[in-house]
């Protein structure tokens, strides 16, 4: 297992972690100042500053991406909605390509309308079919342009609103069905927040192997969790066995960035961005 105790060479910051404090250009500068050499930005943050400017700024700092957030949300109530989702995913792939991301992360979506408070239908099986078709179509284009897609299974508490793929096993089943060659064009983004509890986690990480493990996201699970979306903890403050899980992914060939992704309405988004980044660096060294 790699030794993270002395440097932040393998630390990446998912830019949602300080999105309430700073715009993306400021986040990039603050990361560069601290020798953080990788980030994973969100599309809305990129579009506020402008993708050309962000691409240039990343180059000038020799900063790379550990992923691009995000594509997905493939489900819809009618054909028009499905088409819009497909078009949007094509744009996300183009943006990821422009920023030279190693993969586009997919949060696949679930019951259409549920996120806004009123699901248009209740058949989660149908949502899964639409997701399967959506990923298949996105993959066709992604292969053409050479942009790997990383399906991120989300914790089952998000099964209605955000993702009907909730375990690593389910994500890998889809990968195997759509990309049996395991050539690296389709894989998973493994986020410990969503998967730490899974009794099959170790065996499914082994199944994923090097070609399917495209991104690794960390934070911690607080007890009690006060908000289902935005109460993620800083590494070391919760109950996730972070070093054990990193050991499993590295034993299976993952050698990429450890991406810190913390949505924290109640705590970290309220602190000065400088403190958040400095704490990410310290905890990366001691607790991940
Ligand atoms: Zn994640």
Structure confidence at residue 250 (pLDDT):
98
Ligand 1 centroid–CA 262 distance in Å is: 9
CA quadruple 225, 229, 231, 233: dihedral, nearest 10: 100
In the reported structure, the alpha carbon of residue 150 is separated from the centroid of ligand 1 by a whole-number distance in angstroms of: 11
Q: Order of strands across the sheet with 38-40? A: 64-65, 38-40, 11-14, 258-260, 213-218, 186-191, 149-151, 104-107, 68-72
H helical segments located in the chain: 24-33, 43-49, 51-60, 79-98, 124-145, 168-178, 192-195, 201-212, 242-251, 273-287
Kindly report the backbone phi and psi dihedral angles of residue 149, in degrees, each rounded to the nearest multiple of 5, phi listed first: -110, 135
The alpha carbon of 119 and the centre of ligand 1 are apart by a number of angstroms equal to 24
The number of beta carbons lying within 10 Å of the beta carbon of residue 268 is: 25
pLDDT value at position 224? 96
The rounded distance, in Å, linking the Cα atoms of 229 and 158 is 8
Q: What is the chain's percent helix, strand, coil content, to nearest 5?
A: 45, 15, 40
Could you read off the pLDDT of 21-35 as tens digits, one per residue? 999 999 999 999 999
Grade residue 152 by pLDDT with cuts at 50, 70 and 90. Answer: very high
Give the Å distance between the CA of 191 and the centre of ligand 1.
5
Domain residue spans of the chain: 11-287
pLDDT tens track for 35-74? 999 999 999 999 999 999 999 999 999 999 999 999 999 9
Query: Which of 3.20.20.150, 3.30.420.40, 3.90.1150.180, 2.10.109.10 is the CATH number of 11-287?
Result: 3.20.20.150
**79-105 per-residue burial string, b: 16 or more CB within 10 A, e: under 16:** eebbeebbebbbebbebbeebebbbbb
Give the per-residue pLDDT at 241.
98
pLDDT at position 145, please?
A: 98
CA of 104 to the centre of ligand 1 (A): 12
Interval 194-243: pLDDT, tens: 999 999 999 999 999 999 999 999 999 999 999 989 999 999 999 999 99
Instruction: Give the distance (Å) from ligand 1 centre to CA of residue 189.
Output: 7
Alpha carbon of 253 to ligand 1 centroid (Å): 20
Please tell me the distance between residue 258's alpha carbon and the centre of ligand 1 in angstroms: 11
Tokens representing 245? 């899980």
pTM of the model as a whole: 0.98
Residue 184: pLDDT band by 50, 70, 90 thresholds? very high
CB atoms within 10 A of CB 270: 11
């Amino acid at each position: 297992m790699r030794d993270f105790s002395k440097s932040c060479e393998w630390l990446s910051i998912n830019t949602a972690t300080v999105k309430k404090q700073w715009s993306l250009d400021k986040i990039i500068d603050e990361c560069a100042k601290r020798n953080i050499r990788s980030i994973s930005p969100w599309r809305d943050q990129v579009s506020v500053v402008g993708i050309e400017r962000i691409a240039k700024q990343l180059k000038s700092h020799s900063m790379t991406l550990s992923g691009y957030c995000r594509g997905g949300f493939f489900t819809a109530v009618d054909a028009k909605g499905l088409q819009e989702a497909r078009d949007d995913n094509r744009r996300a792939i183009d943006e990821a390509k422009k920023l030279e991301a190693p993969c586009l992360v997919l949060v696949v979506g679930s019951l259409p309308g549920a996120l806004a408070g009123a699901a248009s239908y209740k058949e989660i099986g149908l949502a899964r079919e639409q997701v399967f078709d959506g990923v298949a179509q996105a993959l066709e284009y992604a292969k053409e342009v050479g942009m790997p897609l990383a399906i991120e299974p989300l914790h089952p508490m998000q099964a209605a609103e955000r993702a009907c793929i909730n375990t690593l096993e389910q994500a890998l089943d889809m990968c195997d069905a759509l990309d049996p060659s395991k050539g690296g064009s389709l894989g998973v983004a493994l986020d410990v927040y969503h998967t730490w509890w899974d009794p099959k986690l170790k065996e499914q990480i082994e199944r994923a192997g090097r070609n399917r493990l495209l991104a690794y996201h960390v934070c911690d699970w607080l007890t009690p969790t006060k908000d289902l979306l935005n109460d993620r903890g800083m590494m070391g403050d919760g109950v996730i066995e972070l070093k054990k899980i990193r050991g499993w992914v590295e034993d299976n060939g993952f050698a990429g960035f450890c991406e810190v992704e913390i949505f924290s309405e109640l705590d970290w988004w309220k602190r000065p961005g400088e403190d958040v980044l400095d704490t990410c660096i310290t905890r990366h060294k001691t607790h991940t």
